[in-house]
Structure 1
Amino acid sequence: MDQLSAQWFDSGSSYDGDELLFLDGYQVLVKHLAAGVNVKLEHEVTAIVDQGSAGVSVETKQGVFTAARVVVTLPLGVLKSGSVHFQPALPFGKQAAIDGLGVGVLNKCCLLFPQTFWDSEFDWLNYLPKLGQGGQWAEWVSFARPTKRPVLMGFNAADFGTAIEQWDDTAIVQSAVGALQSMFGRDIPAPVDALVTRWASDPYARGAYSCHVLGSTPTQRDDLAKNIHGRLFFAGEATERQHYQTVHGAYQSGLRAAQEVLLAGVATTNSKRTRS
């Protein structure tokens, strides 16, 4: 909390209406959008080189790809890590946005139980931890009502969410069950399966989402979204000023970048016609 901007930490917008749960996971959305697209998996990008009129080269550990225009959707945490080298270096304003915006952590622990022991009519369960354990396992979501399965998912953010990434799965599950025992009693059943996330440790994410820390402003998201010379374009939730931190924000940023690419192509074509 001491790192967040009091002025801008919740500057985003939200849509009206109920939330939608993908019962088969976000893969259904990804598969739909990827239909008919030649997607190259396991091609870790190491460098992006703007070669001017010759186009943009994307260097990976599996080879080099060249195109007239490239859309960069690297998470903010990856951009901050410097694991992908840009040549030439990114403009000052864009690098300042990368350095200035924050990256948050929100890790999940999803537990499958043999049966429900909580009131399945409620989707969200809140827990007030003991003194000195502020924020630990304070928020849970129940999937029992929408999925008819005895599943609870606990969230941990900030310092504690980052710290438990160094624990093994068994320790994390034990900590989660301990919190649930404080809420529902020590005779609750043991989970039969579990799934945990470690977003900060994931080299392809380096965090769960962008956030406004002290000194950052919403205009930095605009700077992060700006294309470079009509050849290098940027998308991702961190580039979305109104709906950052969300899947729909990331999707909308992709639509915006795609439209910019199309307009850049039209401008290039018109320029060639004028010269001829």
Structure 2
Amino acid sequence: MSLPSHVDVAIIGAGAAGLAAARTLENSALSILILEARDRIGGRSHTTILENNIIFDVGCEWLHSANKNSFVPIANELGFVIDKTRPRWREQSLNLGFPPEQRDDFLKAMDEFDARVEAASDLPEDTVASKWLEPGNRWNAQIDAISTYINGCELDQVSTYDFDAYEDTGENWRLSKGYGALIAAYGAPCKVALNTQVTLIDHSGPRIRIETSRGTLTAGKIIVTAPTDLIANESIRFQPALPEKVAAAAGLPLGLADKVMLALDDPEALPRDGHLYGALDRAGTGSYHLRPLGQPCIAGFFGGSFARQLEDAGEGALAAQAIDELVALIGADFRKKVRPIGESRWAHDPFARGSYSHALPGHADDRATLAAPITGRLFFAGEATSPNFFTTAHGAQESGVRAAKEVLASSSAV
């Protein structure tokens, strides 16, 4: 599609937040256009179909806090089947080196760490979350590994206030056709200009001028939903400059979580929806979902600095590490029964630079700073602006609805 010369509301980014903003505004009298740098909608959600019709959610995969997740009613409305099988993330299938008494000891250490973090959230000053690990506890490395999965980084980079603010109801569901497929279906009615990279937002005049890779247009109002790293490094610039927004985005960098999919030649040898940790004594290790949704594959999950090292090592490094860890657990013969068929590389994605946000120590308040509107014309959304559901697609969706309502409120006030 060709770009119009002017729209009432331009939305930067066709991820869950941008799509939700557009869907919320679709019945208003305002003209709406989403500007998306990629050649697809969905942002950090994307479902692909691999061999043997294996569903691979390259990005978000789980309906976290499902009993409060805004995408659950959307899935029901759009006819997407929800699988409520309980994830076994805290377990080790096949009785491989994690006997019940050790698992109970680990869970106790994890729960006690969470309790210390919760207590520390009442302190007058924020702290680094790693401070609340028990010195010398044998499970500290494994607790740090969990942080790399849920925060995309190790605990020494995480705000205690922010860690405690996240709302986890313990309900985690999946979609048989993929989360990315749901978000794409949700956004299908939206008007989107693809392959349109925004580089400058000039809000100095009566109309906002937007420079893109496909030309320039103007807008009356704008909703920015770009990932924080693109604001922090000024891949998208503001004129006049918005130093408080750039600083807030820098305080909410994207951590990294990457996935690799391995096809199984003998899937029945492994339990459906089982789980393995690659190692229990180091933070840099994989978490493995065995035969997710009964599919003939293993989904490997890496996070934090270890995931960055593997990405930087080049294509195939994630798979090689996953296979080595699984072979060490299951046995040398397993190497012949598994092969890589897909992987993510979010740190090297120029339109993401990572997976999801975490607040650096002392920067938990940056979420509210980033979310705040400016002069009734510039609005901000995205998972990083969610006060309690950051890192998630539904947090992004709710933020898009919130920003759209702010647009409507500002329009009715004129």
SS in 1 for 2:305: helix
Deviation at 1:120, TM superposition (A): 2.2
Structure 2 residue 217 is matched with structure 1 residue 65: yes
Q: Which residue of the partner structure matches residue 274 of structure 1? A: none
How far apart, CA to CA, are the structure 2 residues paired with 1:216 and 1:222? 10
- Is 1:100 the counterpart of 2:251? The answer is yes
* Secondary structure at 1:243 match in 2: coil
Is 1:51 aligned to 2:204, yes or no?
yes
Instruction: State whether structure 2 residue 351 is matched by structure 1 residue 204.
Output: yes
Q: How far apart in 1 are the matches of 2:305 and 2:339?
A: 28
Alignment equivalent of 1:154, drawn from 282, 285, 300: 300
Residue 319 (structure 2) aligns with? 173
Are the counterparts in 2 of residues 135 and 156 from structure 1 also a CA contact under 8 Å?
no
How far off is 1:33 after superposition?
2.2
User: 1:191 and 2:338 equivalent?
Assistant: yes
Q: Does 1:137 align with 2:288?
A: no
Q: Give the CA deviation at 1:91.
A: 5.0
Q: What is the CA distance between 1:192 and its match in structure 2?
A: 4.2
SS at match of 1:82: coil
Q: Is the 8 A contact 1:49 1:86 kept in 2?
A: yes
Shift of 1:175: 1.6
Contact between 2:272 and 2:291, CA under 8 Å: does it hold in 1?
Answer: no
CA distance in 2: counterparts of 1:22 and 1:57, whole angstroms: 42
Per-residue CA distance 1:206-245 (angstroms, 9 max, x = gap): 111110222212x210110011111111010000011000
Structure 1, unpaired ranges of 5+: 269-276
- The structural deviation recorded for 1:7 is 4.1
Residues 112 and 10 of structure 1: CA distance in aligned 2, closer, same or farther (over 3 Å): farther
**Which residue does 1:26 correspond to in 2?**
180
Match of 1:256 in 2: 402
CA distance in 2, matches of 1:110, 1:150: 10
Give the corresponding residue for 2:385: 239
In structure 2, the CA distance between the partners of 1:210 and 1:118, relative to structure 1 (3 Å rule), is: farther
Q: 1:91, 1:171 → 2: CA distance?
A: 38
Q: Secondary structure at the match of 1:168?
A: coil
Identity %: 33
**Which range moved further: 110-119 or 62-71?**
110-119
CA distance in 1, matches of 2:181, 2:345: 19
Structure 2 unaligned residues grouped into runs of 5+: 1-154
TM-score normalized with structure 2 length: 0.59
**1:48 partner amino acid:** I
Report the secondary structure of 2:379's partner residue: strand
Please report how far the alpha carbon of residue 30 of structure 1 lies from its aligned counterpart in structure 2 after TM superposition. Answer: 1.9
Which one-letter code corresponds to 2:321 in the other structure?
Answer: S
Please state how far the C-alpha of 1:203 moved relative to its aligned partner.
1.0
Which residue matches 2:139?
A: none
AA of the residue aligned to 2:198:
V
Pick from 14, 27, 33: which aligns with 2:168? Answer: 14
- Shift, 1:48, TM fit: 0.9
| Cα 1:28/1:7, change in 2 over 3 Å | closer
Per-residue deviation, 1:118: 5.4
Letter in 2 for 1:99: A
Query: Which stretch of structure 1 is more off in the superposition, 9-18 or 238-247?
Result: 9-18
- Is the contact made by 2:390 and 2:396 (CA closer than 8 Å) also made in structure 1? yes
Q: Which residue is equivalent to 2:33? A: none
Q: CA deviation at 1:24?
A: 4.1
Supply the AA of the counterpart residue of 2:213.
Answer: K
Structure 1 residue 88 displacement after superposition: 0.8
Show the counterpart of 2:260. Answer: 109
Describe the superposition over 1:42-74 as per-residue Cα deviations: whole angstroms up to 9, x where unpaired. 11111111134x221221110112111111010
Letter in 2 for 1:126: Y
Cα pair distance change 1:171/1:102, threshold 3 Å:
closer
2:198–2:210 CA contact under 8 A, matched in 1? yes
The offset of 1:127, in angstroms, is 3.0
CA distance, structure 1, for counterparts of residue 179 and residue 318 of structure 2 = 23
Query: Is the contact between residue 229 and residue 353 of structure 2 (CA under 8 Å) also seen in structure 1?
Result: yes
For the residues of structure 2 that align with 1:9 and 1:24, how far apart are their CA atoms? 27
CA RMSD of aligned residues (A): 2.0
Deviations 1:142-194 (A, max 9, x none): 344x2x32121111111111111122333332221011101211111343442
In the alignment, what sits opposite 1:272? Answer: none
Q: Secondary structure at the match of 1:155?
A: strand
Judging changes above 3 Å, is the alpha-carbon distance between structure 1 residues 190 and 136 closer, same or farther for their aligned structure 2 residues? farther
